[in-house]
């Protein structure tokens, strides 16, 4: 019903959707198939037809720009009525949680990430939230400030004395843990039991390090400014589940629905009334996901596989068809295992941290050339040393990387054995692979 309402307000109110959505069927079964045949909305379309997309003619309550982690930011409009609906909705949800959990004191939460993330209202949390700043990236100052808040005994009416929930980015978590480990910090001094990580992907290796030292559970949260709501990691199945007011779909690189278990691009649709002024209907996020049926009572499980912009794509059949050569997350897991690989870091001056590089993002770059049934994959990897000095070690790394790449390459290609792939691993000396950090 909410989908019907969403499509209806979009078609009635916006010039853009009036062209995309013709008549709406009355039965729910027909509605779903009609919905799945609607044109996909790309970031480029949103940028080009911004005003045409709007359904409310009054001046917006707020205009946001997405963070631009995936490229040029997208502008998002929200109306007064939309903000009011969100506020009353989240108030209802959290008062329900509070009543059912019968708290004597609200848990204390520290969040280092953006306070609003595309909404005029504070991001919803089930406790009392402390704000560190509106900083997406860690720096020296925020690391030190975060520690003082985490260690402090607070005195806030109705709330616990110590911070038990810590919401942050993957990069911040890696750097903070790295800093604490190197300064010999006693993690028993902390009261954090629940770490919620968003924005950057945490490798399995880093998840294990953080979980062991902090003695806290980690929950991955996937969200984007364009969506009202998020997907949260499930302890039962290990995948992410989207909140019920978001409809997720996975499509292949040809924009056709992807089979369960195949990597594809995530489309989202926000439902009315949580989305009113600028409906996002079948919006292409450019984030890669795989949907799996894990028989979880919360429904389909979704697993993040990286960003399309960082993925290697393979063109075959005379460039008529494009397939995924590597999912960024799989590549990242391999590179992240190598201490030899130099890391990006933007923390420079934290006292007692001798080498902050361990918590940074590895420096590497992949290239692919394809010809009919042949592919040439080149990996450029920046090392912490000169490869000519440690030749045996470099040979060892090279063999290991190629063996692992063979296992993860061309995940969606049915007859990938027929493809002849040649791998080249190119070691770069320290500070010679100058690029921006790869965000995955």
- Summarize as ranges the residues that interact with Zn ion (CB under 5 A): 234, 236-237, 296, 298
In angstroms, give the least distance from the CB of 223 to Zn ion: 18
Positive or negative: CA dihedral 13, 46, 306, 267? positive
Planar angle of CA 206, 204, 359, nearest 5 degrees: 25
CB of 293 to Zn ion, least distance (A): 11
> Are residues 85 and 276 in contact, defined by beta-carbon separation less than 8 angstroms?
yes
* C-alpha closest to that of 83 among 53, 118, 50: 118
How would you label 143-165 residue by residue, b for 16+ Cβ within 10 Å and e otherwise? bebbbebbeeeeeeeebbebbbb
Question: Is the torsion defined by CA of 333, 405, 344, 395 positive or negative?
Answer: positive
| Complex with Zn ion: residue 256 or 295, whichever CB lies closer | 295
Of the pair 296, 338, the CB lying nearest Zn ion is at 296
Is 17 in contact with 11 (CB distance < 8 Å)? Answer: yes
Asked whether the beta carbons of 72 and 286 are under 8 A apart, the reply is no
By beta-carbon proximity to Zn ion, the closer residue of 45 and 298 is 298
The CB-side HSE value for 408 (13 A sphere, CA atoms) comes to 22
Question: CB-wise, 181 or 298, nearer to Zn ion?
Answer: 298
Minimum CB separation of residue 126 from Zn ion in Å reads: 19
Q: By C-beta, is 234 or 329 nearer to Zn ion?
A: 234
CB of 233 to Zn ion, least distance (A): 8
Cα 302 to Cα 287: distance, rounded to the nearest angstrom: 12
CB nearer Zn ion, residue 300 or residue 322 = 300
Is the bond preceding residue 273 a cis peptide, omega within 30 degrees?
yes
CB of 70 to Zn ion, least distance (A): 26
Q: Which is nearer to Zn ion, 188 or 297 (CB)?
A: 297
In the complex, least distance from residue 221 CB atom to Zn ion, rounded to whole angstroms: 14
**Minimal distance in Å, beta carbon 202 to Zn ion?**
19
Distance in Å, CB of 252 to Zn ion, minimum: 24
The nearest distance, CB 294 to Zn ion, in angstroms, is: 6
**Which of 163, 237 has the CB closer to Zn ion?**
237
Round to whole Å and give the CA distance between 36 and 282.
8
Closest approach of Cβ 238 to Zn ion, in Å? 7
The tokens of 19 are what? 């062209």
């Amino acid at each position: 019903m909410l989908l019907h309402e969403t499509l209806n307000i979009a078609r009635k109110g916006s010039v853009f959707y009036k062209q995309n959505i013709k008549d709406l069927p009355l039965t729910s079964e027909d509605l779903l198939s009609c919905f799945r045949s609607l044109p996909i909305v790309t970031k480029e379309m949103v940028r080009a037809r911004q005003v045409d997309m709007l359904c409310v003619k009054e001046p917006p309550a707020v205009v946001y720009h997405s963070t631009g982690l995936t490229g040029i930011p997208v502008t998002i409009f929200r109306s007064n009525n939309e903000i009011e609906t969100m506020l009353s909705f989240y108030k209802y949800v959290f008062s329900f949680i509070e009543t059912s959990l019968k708290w004597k004191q609200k848990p204390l939460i520290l969040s280092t990430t953006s306070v609003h993330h595309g909404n005029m209202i504070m991001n919803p949390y089930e406790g009392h939230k402390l704000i560190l700043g509106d900083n997406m990236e860690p720096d020296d100052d925020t690391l030190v400030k975060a520690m003082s808040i985490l260690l402090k005994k607070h005195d806030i009416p109705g709330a616990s004395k110590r911070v038990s929930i810590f919401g942050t980015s993957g990069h911040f978590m890696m750097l903070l843990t790295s800093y604490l480990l190197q300064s010999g910090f006693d993690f028993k001094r902390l009261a954090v039991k629940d770490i919620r990580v968003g924005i950057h992907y945490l490798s399995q290796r880093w998840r294990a390090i953080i979980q062991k030292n902090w003695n806290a559970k980690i929950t991955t949260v996937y969200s984007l400014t364009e969506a009202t709501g998020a997907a949260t990691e499930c302890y039962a199945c290990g995948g992410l589940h989207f909140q019920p007011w978001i409809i997720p779909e996975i499509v292949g690189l040809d924009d056709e629905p992807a089979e369960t278990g195949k990597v594809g691009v995530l489309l989202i649709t926000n439902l009315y009334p949580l989305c009113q002024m600028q409906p996002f209907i079948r919006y292409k996020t450019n984030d890669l996901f795989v949907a799996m049926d894990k028989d979880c009572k919360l429904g389909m499980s979704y697993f993040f596989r990286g960003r399309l912009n960082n993925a290697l794509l393979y063109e075959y059949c005379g460039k008529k068809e494009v397939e995924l050569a590597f999912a960024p997350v799989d590549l990242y897991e391999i590179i992240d295992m190598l201490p030899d690989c130099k890391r990006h870091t933007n923390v420079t001056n934290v006292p007692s941290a001798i080498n902050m590089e361990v918590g940074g993002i590895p420096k590497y770059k992949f290239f692919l050339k394809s010809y009919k049934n042949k592919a040439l994959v080149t990996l450029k990897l920046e090392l912490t040393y000169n490869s000519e000095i440690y030749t045996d070690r470099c040979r060892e790394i090279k063999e290991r990387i190629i063996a692992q790449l063979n296992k993860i390459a061309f995940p969606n290609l049915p007859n990938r054995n027929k493809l002849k792939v040649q791998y080249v691993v190119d070691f770069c000396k320290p500070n010679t692979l100058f690029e921006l950090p790869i965000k995955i």
